[in-house]
Amino acid sequence: MKNFIAHSDNVREEMLKGIGCSSVEDLFKQIPIKFENFKMEKPLIEMETQKRVKMLAKKNKVEYSNFLGGGVYNKFIPAGVNYLAQRMEFLTAYTPYQPEISQGTLQVIYEYQTMISRITGMDIANASMYDGGSACAEAVLMAHRINKGKYNKCLVSNRLNPEYKEVVKTYCWAKNIEIEWFDEIPENTEGYFCVLIQNPDYYGELTEIKKHDITLIVCANLSALSIVEPPRNADIVVGDIQPLGIPMNFGGPHAGYMACKEVYMRQMPGRLVGASLDADSKRAYTLTIQTREQHIKREKATSNICSNQSLIALCATVYLSLLGEEGFRQTGVMCFNNAHKLSEMLEQKGIKTLNKNFFNEFVIKVENSDEFLSKLKLNNILGGIKLNNNNILVCATEMNSEEEIEKYVNSI
């Protein structure tokens, strides 16, 4: 079992010596921890604890009309999603390595991959991205492998989600990949190995996706793809699956998705499940395509993804199954209609929308963002995300009723 021990005593001693510490305790002494002002209350029995927690919970303000977006969306989740996802057959933290005992889980992942492929217009999808940001970053590294390191520079849109930008910067820094940020894709892309854009972008703007001479990565909102043409000109399509039946949960946990053209599937990180026939000619599911290095040899793996987001993928699969193709499209139409109705009503009150084409998010221009949002908050409305002193990113989904939209406009 010694091969599974991360660091031996000799290795730890060498590492500590390299940073000028004599022991692990000496290392942690450098962290400033002050306990003198830390006061703990007396212990409570279970009944008292329940009462205390309920009292604290009442301080939360939850009755707000939500017009926030920016990557996390207030979506309707059918009751059946949580009920099915929490069944004992699925509720496990274990990653399904052993196909012979995980057929149910592997089938769910296979169906999820099929759904993501159909929505994005790509040939194949995986099931193991941590979130939208890591999916973007992994796609850049994948594009680097596809191009066999011919170039070491990539093009990334300035209109990418700011949180995704930070993740991409970290991944690229670790791989010594140079990022060039752009507002419009340059005509000459010689010397770059990929271009990463978001559509709709962080500010909600929809643009036509054109084919380029280099690997094209598109970060796409799956809800928008319910009514918007899939980015079939892309080589890799990524994003977050939070809009597919995943609660907002204070920003996480989420899961990302990645889909690509079949020619690139062997460079795709994460888990891939395939369908075949067993010895009795019955349909069987198994992890496929990848080498075992992906799971057991870190230095030879295609990425650092080491866990499977199968439970969240299960929620997305159940969500799409319950809605069906028509229901999924209807939610997209509702998002579109609500957002455009809000935009039109704001325009009538002199609040300008800066977008030309948008799905369910748009930027408005106001005199003072703080005052504008504070006024709405007093009326129990979360009015949007402040971008700067004069611009606010506003989002509407199928959850925003006609009354909420009218209240938003009448409150400013």
Residues 88 and 235 in one domain: yes
Q: Look at the block and give the residue holding tokens 């994003």.
A: 239
- Give the largest CA-CA distance in the chain: 72
DSSP 188-239: --TT-SEEEEEES-TT-B-------SSEEEEEE-TTGGGTSPP-TT-SEEEE
Residues 246 and 201 in one domain: yes
151: which 2 tokens? 């170039």
Last residue of a domain, one of 270, 285, 317: 317
Distance in angstroms (rounded) separating the CA atoms of residues 334 and 76: 11
Q: Are strands 361-365 and 256-260 parallel, antiparallel or unpaired?
A: unpaired
- Identify whether the C-beta of residue 196 lies closer than 8 Å to the C-beta of residue 156: yes
- State the chain's mean pLDDT as an integer: 90
pLDDT at 293: 47
Last residue of a domain, one of 317, 349, 381: 317
Nearest-10 crossing angle of helices 103-120, 310-348: 30
Residues 155 and 241 in one domain: yes
Residues 299 and 164 in one domain: yes
- Residue 230 neighbours by CB distance under 10 Å: 19
Residues 211 and 354 in one domain: no
Q: How many domains does the chain have?
A: 3
- Identify whether the C-beta of residue 179 lies closer than 8 Å to the C-beta of residue 154: yes
- Give ∠ CA 324-329-332 in degrees, rounded to 5: 130
- Identify whether the C-beta of residue 391 lies closer than 8 Å to the C-beta of residue 381: no
- Identify whether the C-beta of residue 70 lies closer than 8 Å to the C-beta of residue 392: no
- Identify whether the C-beta of residue 268 lies closer than 8 Å to the C-beta of residue 246: no
- Residue 30 neighbours by CB distance under 10 Å: 8
Distance in angstroms (rounded) separating the CA atoms of residues 74 and 312: 16
Residues 279 and 367 in one domain: no
pLDDT at 1: 42
Q: Are strands 361-365 and 352-353 parallel, antiparallel or unpaired?
A: antiparallel
Residue 25: Cβ-neighbour burial (10 angstroms; 0-12, 13-18, 19+): exposed
CATH code where residue 253 lies: 3.40.640.10
Residues 155 and 262 in one domain: yes
* 51, amino acid identity: K
Express each pLDDT in 230-276 by its tens digit. 999 999 999 999 999 999 986 677 899 999 999 999 899 888 889 99
Residues 286 and 368 in one domain: no
Distance in angstroms (rounded) separating the CA atoms of residues 236 and 158: 19
Nearest-10 crossing angle of helices 310-348, 402-410: 50
Which value, in Å, is the radius of gyration of the alpha carbons in the chain? Answer: 24
- Identify whether the C-beta of residue 409 lies closer than 8 Å to the C-beta of residue 342: yes
Last residue of a domain, one of 317, 335, 365: 317
Residues 73 and 90 in one domain: no
Bridge partners of 287? 273
Residues 174 and 198 in one domain: yes
Residues 299 and 353 in one domain: no
CATH code where residue 353 lies: 3.90.1150.10
Kindly give the parts of the chain with pLDDT less than 70.
1-5, 35-36, 91-101, 250-251, 290-301, 304-308
Q: Which domain holds residue 43?
A: 2-57
Distance in angstroms (rounded) separating the CA atoms of residues 220 and 196: 11
Bridge partners of 157? 182
Residues 294 and 369 in one domain: no
pLDDT at 9: 87
* 286, amino acid identity: T
DSSP state of 131: S
* pTM for this prediction: 0.86
Q: For the stretch 42-79, what's the b/e string if a residue is b when 16 or more beta carbons lie within 10 angstroms of its beta carbon?
A: eeeeeeeeeeeeeeeeeeeeeebbbbbbbbbbbbebee
